[in-house]
Amino acid sequence: MFLKTLVGIIPLGVFATAIAQTDVSGTWMLNGPGTESEVLLTEEGKRLQDDYELLEDDPSLYCTPASSSRIWANPGAPIKIEQTDTSILISYELFDLRREIPLGDESALSNQPSTQNLNGTFFSEMGSSFASYDGERLIIESRNHAYGYIRTSRGIPQAPSTTAIEVLEVEGDILHITHTYIDESIFEKPLVLEYFLRRADDTVLNVYDCTEANYNWFDELNAN
């Protein structure tokens, strides 16, 4: 049986925790820009995008993650993944985010966001998540998102009705992530993003200690 009503391509079995599991533990760095499928927005999606002003509405200006895809795809920011018997722990240097995802099926999903920063502030823009293994793949499903932006440069939106599926696979020293966003109110078909991260286990996560609008590209834009 397949989860066709949700994503159309992922078997239901991936949401049952399996004995076999892939080893995604370690520290990783973005390795190139990745890829993106065609963005087909509904009228509501276009409305949300049209209302977006980069230098006013980007949540990153206020030390808030715009979405999980925005955080995965940040160049130069290390990400550490730890696996336990009960959860997946992901530490992002960007904004000092700490994401704790329970292993299990849909019953493990909480109404509380899975991500907080070192000060204990929770961020629903990252969603509430649960994870499971499917052989050599780690599957993370996230729901209960706040409004945010999958791509902040173009204002590609997410909404409370958005479901996100992250599929993590390791090939050698490369972590491959396929990130699918599903929301019929915003997208005419699911939006699929792919990232490639290289292993960087000798890299230390520094404290980001974000203050409003303190990240480099914002300063560079204003300088121009």
For 132-191, how does the pLDDT look when each residue is reduced to its tens digit (9 = 90+)?
Answer: 999 999 999 999 999 999 999 999 999 999 999 999 999 999 999 999 999 999 999 999
Q: How far is C-alpha 90 from the chain's CA centre?
A: 11
Does the residue 6 lie in any domain? no
Mean pLDDT of all residues in 119-144: 97
d(CA 186, CA 3): 20
Does the residue 30 lie in any domain? yes
Mean pLDDT of all residues in 23-42: 96
How many structural domains does the chain have? 1
pLDDT at residue 71 greater than cutoff 50? yes
pLDDT at residue 39 greater than cutoff 60? yes
Does the residue 60 lie in any domain? yes
Where does the pLDDT of residue 25 fall: very low under 50, low under 70, confident under 90, or very high at 90 and above? Answer: very high
Tell me the per-residue pLDDT of 212-224, one tens digit each, with 9 for 90 and over.
Answer: 765 554 555 445 4
Does the residue 1 lie in any domain? no
Does the residue 7 lie in any domain? no
The model's pTM is 0.86
Return the amino acid letter for 220.
E
Q: Where are the beta strands (DSSP E) in 69-127?
A: 79-83, 87-92, 97-102, 115-117
Helix (H, G, I), strand (E, B) or coil at 110: coil
- Choose among 109, 191, 103, 90: nearest CA to 139: 103
Q: Domain of residue 92: give its range.
A: 12-200+207-223
d(CA 224, CA 211): 21
Does the residue 2 lie in any domain? no
Give the pLDDT of residue 18.
39
Where does the pLDDT of residue 27 fall: very low under 50, low under 70, confident under 90, or very high at 90 and above? Answer: very high
Of residues 17 and 48, more confidently modeled: 48
Give the pLDDT of residue 78.
98
Does the residue 141 lie in any domain? yes
**Any residues with CB less than 8 A from the CB of 79 and at least 6 apart, and which?**
27, 28, 29, 72, 90, 91, 92, 93, 197
For the chain, percent helix, then strand, then coil, each to nearest 5? 20, 35, 45
Does the residue 4 lie in any domain? no
